Amino acid sequence: HHSDQQQQKQSPKKMKTTAVLATAAVATLSVLSSPVSAADCEVCIKVMQDVRDSMDKADVKSKPKVEAALGTYCSSDNLGPREKKICYYIDPIKRDVAQPFSTGMPVDRVCKRIDKTNSEICGVKFPVKTEKLEPKDLSKLRVKQLKSILADRGVECTGCLEKDEFVKKVQETEHLAGTDEF
């Protein structure tokens, strides 16, 4: 009988350790996947969120006020180059943006909706931060992502066919990273 009780005492402790490990594994995974899968529409989503945050809750439902808030946001001086690009695209279609926006649609859905009008909108992405990436992380990227990193640096990988050639080129042009100029 005595040994039965001991085993019962032991098991909750074991389960706790497993749970902690599982959580840690999930956390590690999400950290790994974030720099790689740059969200579609990420710049648009940031712009929409910033605009929504700048407005009074009551005003969000009013289309003219949404259009005005978009105008105010886009005329601000401290926008980054990516945000300016989104503003350039949404300026002519402010009304199409204000419509779903005013219904309280989540910002990512607003962006996907207007992306149908102008497919450039979701194409605007923040530059992939590569400085922190280890060579082995680079090789996890898809060739398309490697190409866009190089494009962000104004570099072309001429004659590159193999993925590891792109990886090498990204490493060689590391010094060009971090300048976020167009």
pLDDT digits (tens, 9 = 90+) for 45-98: 999 999 999 999 999 999 999 999 999 999 998 888 899 999 999 999 999 999
Q: Which residues in the chain land under pLDDT 70?
A: 1-39, 128-136, 177-182
Predicted confidence at residue 166, as pLDDT, reads 84
- Do 62 and 26 touch, CB atoms closer than 8 A? no
> d(Cα 156, Cα 102) in Å, to the nearest integer?
42
Between the CA atoms of 50, 55, 57 and 60, what dihedral angle is there, to the nearest 10 degrees?
-90
* Distance from C-alpha of 81 to C-alpha of 72, rounded to nearest angstrom: 17
Amino acid occupying residue 58: A
Phi, psi for 181 (deg, rounded to 5): -105, 150
Q: Which pLDDT does position 34 carry in this prediction?
A: 33
The model's pTM is: 0.54
Residues sharing a CB contact under 8 Å with residue 7, sequence separation 6 or more, in sequence order: none
Q: Are 38 and 125 in contact (CB under 8 A)?
A: yes
Dihedral sign for Cα 157, 162, 165, 167, please.
Answer: positive
Place of tokens 């080129």: 169
